[in-house]
């Protein structure tokens, strides 16, 4: 098992990565937190696949059935919204959970972001345990304390920073993850590689037929991603100095792609992958990077994105509009670009014409026109 410690303004917490962690680590962890009751927030399908192991580990410490209740909501990014949050508050209220309780976020990034927001805001804060079950959530969303939900026109527009007591990543549960979701997670791993770590790119370059059989290799790459994220969130927890903003590589374009397609056509990882291709092209167009950066990105990302079906009716204008509507809500149009691989730079307002061209170039490529 790997253990990485995350330092934050409210204290330090561990991220545990390995196998059989529900049986071997969860009871001790919850025993130390000593909650009066536990709310498991998840989806029915995840509970069906892995819930028994989780519940069996929790029941003995929390007084059995009476001490544990579940809030299960419908899957999909389109349900990461305030109406799902409100339903959750009602379930929390009916169950009687209070500030001495514990919210267990058991699922992918959608569950983690929404359950984290519930924990942060219900009764002004209940403790939170992140138990990620997707590759995406293990390498990225469960770590660092960003929690929140989407508005129709703006991704992650409502949220806060709320650090968990711990993150428990049992890599064994990835065995049931559909291939499309695995590839979404691999995109975020590629993001760390492109930003900081060439060796990681070499490793995942060999994973195109799926995750490696070798448990040590997979757990090691997940731990390396968490270590990169830990380095960044430790020095810039609240995303104020530009250090943490680097993790948004591909996300300005990616979020616009998700918003412009109503959160249903592209998975988050797919949108970010296309977003990184656009960012690489923009890096070239604005003269920051030499020609070749985009081609390098294609070699890294296209094997992962090979099955993505790009919505044919989407045009470049809609994507740039989605970015601008984000900007109107007070965000500066800031882009993480690369001077070369592993050399990220933060660039403000590179010019609308260049942005439009970068978007159009990649869309043409993705649509195969």
Using CB under 6 A as the criterion, which residues of the chain lie in contact with ligand NAD when the complex forms?
43, 45-46, 49, 75, 77, 80, 107-111, 113, 133-134, 136-137, 140-141, 144, 146, 156, 173, 176-177, 181, 184, 268-269
- CB 84 to ligand NAD: min, Å: 12
Min separation Cβ 268 and Zn ion, Å: 6
Smaller CB separation from ligand NAD, 185 or 350: 185
> In terms of CB distance, is 49 or 157 closer to ligand NAD?
49
Task: Please name the residue ranges forming H helices in 197-312.
Answer: 198-204, 215-235, 251-260, 268-285, 293-305
- Out of Zn ion, ligand NAD, none, what residue 136 binds, judged by CB under 5 to 8 A for its kind, is ligand NAD
Q: Are 25 and 16 in contact (CB under 8 A)?
A: yes
Q: Which CB, 61 or 211, lies closer to ligand NAD?
A: 211
Residue 18: which of ligand NAD, Zn ion, none does it interact with, CB under 5 to 8 A by kind? Answer: none
For residues 158 and 149, give the distance between their C-alpha atoms in angstroms, rounded to a whole number: 5
Q: How far apart are CA 21 and CA 287, in angstroms?
A: 48
Closer residue to ligand NAD (CB): 183 or 294: 183
Residue 86 host element (H or E):
helix 82-95
Residues 92-121 that bind Zn ion (CB under 5 A): none
Give the CB-nearest residue to ligand NAD.
Answer: 109
The encoded tokens of residue 288 equal: 């920051």
Binding to Zn ion, residues 254-293 (CB under 5 A): 272
What is the enclosing helix (H) or strand (E) of 76? none
The residues near 166 (Cβ < 8 Å, ≥ 6 apart) are: 13, 14, 15, 16, 29, 129, 130
Residues in the chain: 369
Minimum Å gap between C-beta 274 and Zn ion is: 12
Residue 36: strand, helix, or coil: coil
Instruction: For the CB of residue 365, give the shortest distance to ligand NAD in the complex, in Å.
Output: 24
Site mask, Zn ion, residues 50-89, x = CB under 5 A?
----------------------------------------
Question: Among 156, 78, 147, 157, which Cα is nearest to 114's?
Answer: 147
Would you call 36 exposed, middle or buried from its count of C-beta atoms within 10 A (0-12, 13-18, 19+)?
A: middle
Q: Can you give the binding site for Zn ion, defined by CB under 5 A?
A: 272
């Amino acid at each position: 098992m790997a253990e990485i410690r995350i330092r934050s303004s409210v204290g330090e917490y561990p991220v545990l990565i390995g196998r059989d962690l529900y049986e071997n680590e969860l009871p001790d962890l919850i025993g130390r937190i000593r909650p009066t009751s536990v709310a498991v927030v998840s989806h029915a399908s995840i509970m069906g696949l892995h819930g028994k192991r989780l519940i069996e580990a929790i029941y003995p410490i929390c007084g059995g059935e009476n001490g544990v209740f579940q809030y299960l909501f419908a899957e999909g990014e389109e349900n990461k919204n305030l109406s799902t949050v409100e339903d959750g508050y009602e379930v929390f209220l009916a169950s009687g959970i209070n500030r001495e309780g514990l919210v267990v976020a058991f699922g992918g990034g959608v569950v983690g972001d929404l359950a984290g927001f519930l924990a942060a805001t219900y009764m002004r804060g209940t403790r939170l345990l992140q138990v990620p079950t997707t590759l995406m959530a293990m390498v990225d969303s469960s770590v660092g304390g960003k929690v929140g939900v989407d508005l129709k026109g703006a991704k992650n527009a409502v949220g806060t920073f709320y650090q968990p007591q711990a993150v428990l990543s049992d890599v064994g549960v990835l065995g049931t993850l559909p291939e499309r979701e695995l590839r979404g997670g691999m995109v975020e791993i590629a993001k760390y590689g492109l930003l900081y770590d060439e060796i990681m790119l070499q490793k995942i370059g060999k994973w195109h037929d799926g995750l490696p059989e070798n448990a040590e290799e997979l757990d090691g790459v997940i731990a390396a991603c968490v270590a990169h994220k830990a380095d960044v969130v430790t020095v810039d927890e609240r995303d104020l100095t530009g250090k943490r903003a680097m993790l948004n590589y591909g996300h300005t374009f990616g979020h616009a792609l998700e918003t412009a397609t109503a959160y249903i056509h592209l998975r988050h990882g797919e949108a970010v992958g296309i977003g990184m291709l656009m960012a690489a092209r923009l890096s070239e167009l604005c003269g920051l990077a030499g020609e070749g950066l985009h081609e390098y990105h294609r070699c890294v990302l296209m094997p992962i994105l090979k099955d993505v079906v790009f919505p044919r009716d989407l045009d470049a204008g809609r994507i740039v509009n989605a970015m601008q509507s984000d900007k109107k809500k007070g965000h500066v149009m800031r882009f993480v670009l690369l001077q070369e691989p592993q050399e990220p730079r933060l660039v403000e307002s590179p010019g609308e014409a260049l942005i439009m061209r970068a978007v159009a170039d990649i869309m043409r490529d993705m649509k195969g026109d």
